Amino acid sequence: TVYAFSTENWKRSKDEVSGLMKLLSHFIHAKEKELVANGVRFRVIGRREDLSKKLQKEIATLEEKTADGVFTLVVALSYGSRDEIVRAAMKFKGSTEEEFAACLDTAGIPDPDLIIRTSGELRLSNFLMWQAAYSEFYFTDKYWPDFDRAEFDKALASFAKRERRMGGRLK
């Protein structure tokens, strides 16, 4: 799951927002064949209704074309975890965590094992707060554009050394 655009990012200048939306549209068109060929399912979470009708249609088309993928690329777009939790609470009619989780944008997607935070920030930034309950974190000073394969390998090596208990104690 990549955090492409938060609900708070709408506060940026119109030019910046427009540029980011054009970049997303370009990605959708440029990567469609590659995603299909590599068996990658494309899925967007967040407030789609905030997006232009054109972009909503492009997203829906790519999701449909990649629906049979075995790997999933989730793009958090106009997404905020607090907003997601509030929207889920408004839909929720059950009594269990599992039933509540089914109301979240990420229903059917496993919770992340590892969350990588770039740019030297040491915070979640309103990202997957419900889903991150037992996630491991890796923080790096690298900015996203500079986050390369070597840095990814460092994150995975760090993760591999961790002892995951998921709230329990190892015997």
Whose CA is closest to 85, among 103, 108, 110, 99? 103
* Confidence category of residue 169, pLDDT binned at 50, 70, 90: low
pLDDT at 153 over 80: yes
What does the pLDDT look like over 9-52, one tens digit per residue?
999 999 999 999 999 999 999 999 999 999 999 999 999 999 99
* Confidence category of residue 168, pLDDT binned at 50, 70, 90: confident
pLDDT at 170 over 80: no
Q: How far is CA 95 from CA 89, 100, 131, in A?
A: 11, 8, 18
Check if the beta carbon of residue 69 is closer than 8 Å to that of residue 41.
yes
* Confidence category of residue 124, pLDDT binned at 50, 70, 90: very high
* Confidence category of residue 163, pLDDT binned at 50, 70, 90: confident
- Long-range contact pairs involving 80-89 (C-beta distance under 8 Å, separation at least 24): 80/6, 80/7, 80/8, 80/46, 80/126, 81/124, 81/126, 81/127, 81/128, 81/129, 81/130, 82/126, 82/129, 83/7, 83/47, 84/45, 84/46, 84/130, 85/129, 85/130
Whose CA is closest to 114, among 84, 140, 88? 140
Average pLDDT over all residues of the chain: 95
